[in-house]
Chain A
Amino acid sequence: MHELSIVADLFSIIEEQAKQARATRVTKVKVLIGELSGVVPELFRSAFQSYKKGTIADKAKLEIKITKIKFKCHNCGQEIKAKDISSPDFSYACPACGSKDVELVSGRDLYLEKLEIETES
């Protein structure tokens, strides 16, 4: 359950951003979770729900978008989505030409993409 420590780091960023934007409330939080990030979305969500109490994001909705694994192939040059990690066909290779000379370009990432906030003007 490392999701809780990750959510704690997320809230440091949220609070910093909310302060900068002079937000009175954060109403929505959108995160990107890589398929290979090691984070379980459901655990992340429940950690978020318990952590948000008493913070500026007390009533915030959490939106999670899963980012797929993508390889850059050094053989054929394509940047291409990998097969689903849980499928038996997944392999660390270019789905187009089969080359194993590939680099992981996305799928490990954990990003706070955007916030929806309320301000008083």
Chain B
Amino acid sequence: MEKSKKEVLVLEDILGSNKKIAGSIRQKLLEHRILTVNILSSPGSGKTSLLEKLGLKLQEKYKVGVIEGDVETERDAERIRKAGLPAWQITTHGACHLEAKMLAQIFDQIPANLDFLFIENVGNLVCPASFDLGESLRFVLLSVPEGDDKPKKYPEAFITSNVFVITKCDLLPYLPFDADRVTAEALEINPKLEVFRTSALTGEGIDALSQYLENKLQELRSKNA
């Protein structure tokens, strides 16, 4: 037999299979009228601490659940449960981000009567940005000790997010972090970002953020009535 060479034009989205799974998760979440938030930040920026506070605040009026993504251990899910909220742990065993198919594996455990579902992604400001999880909103967190030069260094996370939360604002008096400058830089990359300043220590900004989410839930429900 003769060998012959040829070119095959493919033009297929490499992340297509993740997008497809994310799409069907999004569909189901909308059917259940659940507002889902995917939370991105570096390790230790205060994702779990924010969720403990925000989750409890929202739980006064709503049903809230939390999915915890970590490389190893069930520690964050245990912290959330201890705070009084239901939590489900996904351990990625090495992967630096969550993918839609990991969520699909535990999706049956998520009660359909939730109002809010938070997904704490693996601590990493780069990799999780590429993977849609079927969320309604994406949050990017940056904590005061990390420094105010981050948005342009990690543009994907900021461009793909809807909300930018500056965390650990109780530390502003002690560190050279210009919150106005970082806000301006983030808005330059993505003018549609909503910006909040919070502290899990003093409770600053928790009410404002929870009010914002309540409004978003109403919006989602009036659109999908």
Chain A residues close to B by CB (< 8 Å):
1-2, 5-6, 9-10, 12-13, 17, 21, 23-24, 27, 31, 36-39, 85, 90-93, 100, 104, 108-121
Q: How far apart are the CA atoms of A39 and B96 in the complex, in Å?
A: 13
Interchain pairs with CB closer than 8 A, number: 110
Name which of B4-12, B76-84, B135-143 contacts chain A. B4-12
Is B112 close to A, CB under 8 A? no
- Is B17 in contact with chain A by the CB < 8 A criterion? yes
Q: Does B213 sit at the interface, judged by CB under 8 A?
A: no
Q: Which A residues are in CB contact (< 8 Å) with B14? A: 6, 9-10, 13, 31, 110-112
Contact A100 B191 (CB under 8 A): yes
Cβ B11 vs Cβ A2 within 8 A = no
Inter-subunit contact B5/A113 (CB<8 Å): no
Chain A contacts of B127 at CB under 8 A? 1-2, 38
Give the residue name and chain of the A residue nearest to B125 (CB). Answer: A38
Knowing A100-B191, A118-B4, A119-B4 are in contact, say whether A37-B13 is a contact too (CB < 8 A): no
Partner among B8, B17, B190, B191 whose Cβ is within 8 Å of the Cβ of A114: B8
> What separation, in Å, do the CA atoms of A10 and B18 have in the docked complex?
11
**Does A2 contact B97, Cβ atoms closer than 8 Å?**
yes
| Residue ranges of B at the interface with A (Cβ–Cβ < 8 Å) | 1-18, 95-97, 99, 126-131, 152, 155-156, 159-160, 188-191
13 contacts between A and B (CB under 8 A): A5-B95, A13-B10, A13-B16, A39-B130, A93-B188, A110-B13, A111-B12, A111-B13, A111-B14, A112-B12, A115-B8, A119-B6, A121-B3
Knowing A39-B130, A116-B5, A119-B3, say if A104 contacts B10 (CB, 8 Å): no
Tell me the bound Cα distance from A108 to B157 in angstroms. Answer: 12
Question: Which residue of A has the minimal Cβ distance to B185?
Answer: A91
List, in ascending order, chain A residues with CB within 8 A of B95's CB: 2, 5
Which residues from B are CB-within-8-Å of A117? Answer: 5-8
Docked Cα-Cα span, A12 to B17, in Å, equals 10
Shortest Cβ gap from B165 to chain A (Å) = 19
Of listed B15, B126, B152, residue having the most chain A CB within 10 A: B15
B residues less than 8 Å from A10 (CB atoms): 14
Q: Identify B96's interface contact among A1, A13, A108, A109, CB under 8 A.
A: A1
Residues of chain A contacted by B7 (CB below 8 angstroms): 114-117
Contact present for A110 and B159 (CB under 8 Å)? no
Complex Cα gap A13–B7 (Å)? 15
B residues in contact with A2, CB < 8 Å: 95-97, 126-128, 130-131
State in angstroms the CA–CA spacing of A104 and B17 once bound together. 22
Query: Quick check: A118 and B9 within 8 Å, CB to CB?
Result: no
Cβ-defined contact, A92 with B189, below 8 A:
yes
Taking A36-B156, A110-B14, A121-B1 as known contacts, 9 extra A-B pairs with beta carbons closer than 8 A to each other, sorted by chain A number, are A24-B3, A37-B156, A38-B126, A39-B130, A91-B189, A93-B191, A109-B13, A111-B14, A121-B2
